[in-house]
Amino acid sequence: MDQQSFHKFCIKVMNRCRKFNTSVVLERFYVLKNKVDPARNGARYTGEMLPGEKLRPIGCPEMDSRVISRSLTDLTYLIFFDLFSPQQHGCRMHRGTHTVIFDICQYL
Q: Which pTM value belongs to this model? A: 0.50
**13, 22, 24, 25, 50 from 19: Cα distances, Å:** 10, 8, 14, 15, 46
pLDDT tens, 2-14? 888 888 887 777 7
Instruction: Please state the length of the chain.
Output: 108
pLDDT tens, 30-85? 888 877 777 777 777 777 788 888 888 888 877 777 888 788 878 877 777 777 77
Q: State how far the Cα of 13 lies from the Cα of 28, in Å rounded to an integer.
A: 20
pLDDT tens, 75-99? 877 777 777 777 777 767 777 787 8
